[in-house]
Structure 1
Amino acid sequence: MNYTENYKGVKIDVQSPNLDVSQEIQSEIRNCINKLAKFTNDINALDVYFKSEGQGGTATTTVGMRVGIPGPDVFAEEKGENWVGMLKSVTDKNIRQIQKNK
């Protein structure tokens, strides 16, 4: 499922092949933007990638997030099992990169 939205002037592009993005996840993505906006006002775009590979006990899930800001974009990725927890983690990683680049 691919999903695009404009939230507070930020273009959100979510790509999740073979997965449905629930309302809870969409809401959490908006929360991520609100959190990122506290550290930079120049967010143009947010790309989120959900990926699930394998089956059963060997399944791996990954979330990647690219924050489009002036200058070089920041990107973070996290592997785990909880989509919301992984979103929070990649948001925190991107915040650290934004703070480092200021």
Structure 2
Amino acid sequence: MAGVIDGVGAFNLTKKGIARLTIIMNIRDKKALFDIRHQFGGSIHIIANGYALKYQISHKKGIIALLGAVNGLIRNPSKLLQMNKLCVKYNIVPVYPKPLTYYNG
């Protein structure tokens, strides 16, 4: 899950204080998005003339569960900054990933 967010996801916190996660993937990867929706809730919409799917989640319970699942696993610096803003909003202690070594993966 954290790898998907690192690659094609984006956390967002609006001016009104609404937290949101958006993932846009090719329609061929719809099974992955439906698995994510089954786990955390949210909605999936077809975009770009039917060639892509957009997954969004913005309800508090799902966002908190998602943050708990990926906390400490996000490596992309921009996504880590976005996630930290949501962690501050929901009073979750952000965990930074361990440094990579030669023997990782």
User: What is the TM-score of this pair, normalised by structure 2?
Assistant: 0.30
Bigger relative contact order, structure 1 or 2 (CA pairs below 8 A, ≥6 apart): 2
Q: Which of the pair has more CA radius of gyration?
A: 2
More strand by share: 1
Q: TM-score, normalised by structure 1?
A: 0.31
